Structure 1
Amino acid sequence: MRVAVTGCCHGELDKIYETLAVAERRGAGPVDLLLCCGDFQAVRNEADLRCMAVPPRYRHMQTFYRYYSGEKKAPVLTIFIGGNHEASNHLQELPYGGWVAPNIYYLGLAGVVKYRGVRIGGISGIFKSHDYRKGHFECPPYNSSTIRSIYHVRNIEVYKLKQLKQPIDVFLSHDWPRSIYHYGNKKQLLKTKSFFRQEVENNTLGSPAASELLDHLKPTYWFSAHLHVKFAALMQHQATDKGETAKETKFLALDKCLPHRDFLQLLEML
Structure 2
Amino acid sequence: MVAAPLKLLLGLENEGFSFVDVGHSYQPKARKNSKTLYCDSLYRFCFWDFWTPLLNQYCVQFKRMKIAVEGCMHGDLDKVYDTIKYIENTRNIKIDLLLCCGDFQAVRNEKDMDSLNVPPKYREMKSFWKYYSGQEVAPVPTIFIGGNHEASNYLWELYYGGWAAPNIYFLGFAGVVKFGNIRIGGLSGIYNARNYCLGHHERPPYNDNTIRSVYHVREYDVHKLMHLEDPIDIFLSHDWPLGITDFGNWQQLVRYKKHFKDEIQQGTLGSKPAAQLLEKLKPSYWFSAHLHCKFTALVEHEESGRVTKFLALDKCLPGRKFLQIVDIESDPGPYEVQYDEEWLAITRKLNCVFPLTLRRGDFGRTQLDMQDCRQWVKSRMEDRGAKPCEFSQTAPPHKPSDSVSNTTFSGSPRNPQTVSFLELLDLPYVLDNALDSRDTPASLPQKDDYSEDIPIEDEDDLEDGEPNNENRSS
Q: Do residues 169 (structure 1) and 233 (structure 2) align?
A: yes
- Structure with max Cα Rg: 2
Any idea what the Cα deviations from partners look like across 1:118-150, whole Å, max 9, x if unmatched?
000000000000000000000011000000000
| Residue 457 (structure 2) aligns with | none
Matched length = 265
Question: What does 1:137-176 correspond to in 2, within 5 Å?
Answer: 137-176=201-240
Match of 2:315 among 240, 252, 256: 256
Q: Do residues 247 (structure 1) and 247 (structure 2) align?
A: no
Instruction: Provide the C-alpha distance between the structure 2 equivalents of 1:194 and 1:120, rounded to a whole number of angstroms.
Output: 33
Match of 1:42 among 102, 106, 112: 106
Match of 1:56 among 109, 120, 125: 120
| Residue 121 (structure 1) aligns with | 185
Instruction: Provide the C-alpha distance between the structure 1 equivalents of 2:89 and 2:163, rounded to a whole number of angstroms.
Output: 29
| Residue 84 (structure 2) aligns with | 20
Unpaired runs of 5+ residues, structure 2, are 1-64, 330-474
| Residue 234 (structure 1) aligns with | 298
| Residue 189 (structure 1) aligns with | 253
The list of structure 1 runs, each at least 4 consecutive aligned residues, that deviate by more than 3 angstroms after superposition, is none
| Residue 218 (structure 1) aligns with | 282
When residues 28 and 208 of structure 1 are mapped into structure 2, their CA distance, relative to the original with a 3 A threshold, is farther
Instruction: Provide the C-alpha distance between the structure 2 equivalents of 1:182 and 1:83, rounded to a whole number of angstroms.
Output: 23
Match of 1:75 among 124, 139, 142: 139
Tell me which amino acid in the other structure corresponds to 2:315: K
Instruction: Provide the C-alpha distance between the structure 1 equivalents of 2:254 and 2:276, rounded to a whole number of angstroms.
Output: 24
Instruction: Provide the C-alpha distance between the structure 2 equivalents of 1:151 and 1:5, rounded to a whole number of angstroms.
Output: 22
Tell me the secondary structure at the aligned position of residue 142 of structure 2: strand
Any idea what the Cα deviations from partners look like across 1:23-62, whole Å, max 9, x if unmatched?
1122151100000000000000011011100100110000
Instruction: Provide the C-alpha distance between the structure 1 equivalents of 2:221 and 2:204, rounded to a whole number of angstroms.
Output: 21
Any idea what the Cα deviations from partners look like across 1:178-234, whole Å, max 9, x if unmatched?
000010011100101000011101000000000000000000000000000000000
- Structure number with the higher strand fraction is 1
Question: What does 1:5-16 correspond to in 2, within 5 Å?
Answer: 5-16=69-80
| Residue 95 (structure 1) aligns with | 159
| Residue 242 (structure 1) aligns with | none
Any idea what the Cα deviations from partners look like across 1:66-98, whole Å, max 9, x if unmatched?
000000000000000000000000001011000
Tell me the secondary structure at the aligned position of residue 262 of structure 2: helix
Tell me the secondary structure at the aligned position of residue 269 of structure 1: strand
TM-score by length of 2: 0.56
Instruction: Provide the C-alpha distance between the structure 1 equivalents of 2:73 and 2:122, rounded to a whole number of angstroms.
Output: 14
| Residue 170 (structure 2) aligns with | 106
Tell me which amino acid in the other structure corresponds to 1:194: K
Instruction: Provide the C-alpha distance between the structure 1 equivalents of 2:67 and 2:236, rounded to a whole number of angstroms.
Output: 13
RMSD of Structure 2 on Structure 1 (CA): 0.6
| Residue 29 (structure 1) aligns with | 93
Residue 116 of structure 1, CA deviation: 1.0
Match of 1:132 among 167, 173, 196: 196
Instruction: Provide the C-alpha distance between the structure 2 equivalents of 1:126 and 1:33, rounded to a whole number of angstroms.
Output: 24
Instruction: Provide the C-alpha distance between the structure 2 equivalents of 1:26 and 1:251, rounded to a whole number of angstroms.
Output: 27
TM-score by length of 1: 0.97
When residues 218 and 233 of structure 1 are mapped into structure 2, their CA distance, relative to the original with a 3 A threshold, is same
Residue 238 of structure 1, CA deviation: 1.9
Tell me the secondary structure at the aligned position of residue 212 of structure 2: helix
Tell me which amino acid in the other structure corresponds to 1:176: W
Tell me which amino acid in the other structure corresponds to 1:251: F
Any idea what the Cα deviations from partners look like across 1:125-178, whole Å, max 9, x if unmatched?
000000000000000110000000000000011110011111000000000000
Instruction: Provide the C-alpha distance between the structure 1 equivalents of 2:237 and 2:148, rounded to a whole number of angstroms.
Output: 11
| Residue 342 (structure 2) aligns with | none
Match of 2:262 among 192, 195, 198: 198
Instruction: Provide the C-alpha distance between the structure 1 equivalents of 2:79 and 2:235, rounded to a whole number of angstroms.
Output: 24
Instruction: Provide the C-alpha distance between the structure 2 equivalents of 1:69 and 1:22, rounded to a whole number of angstroms.
Output: 24
Instruction: Provide the C-alpha distance between the structure 1 equivalents of 2:92 and 2:112, rounded to a whole number of angstroms.
Output: 36
Tell me the secondary structure at the aligned position of residue 324 of structure 2: strand
Instruction: Provide the C-alpha distance between the structure 2 equivalents of 1:268 and 1:205, rounded to a whole number of angstroms.
Output: 29
Tell me which amino acid in the other structure corresponds to 1:172: L
Residue 104 of structure 1, CA deviation: 0.2
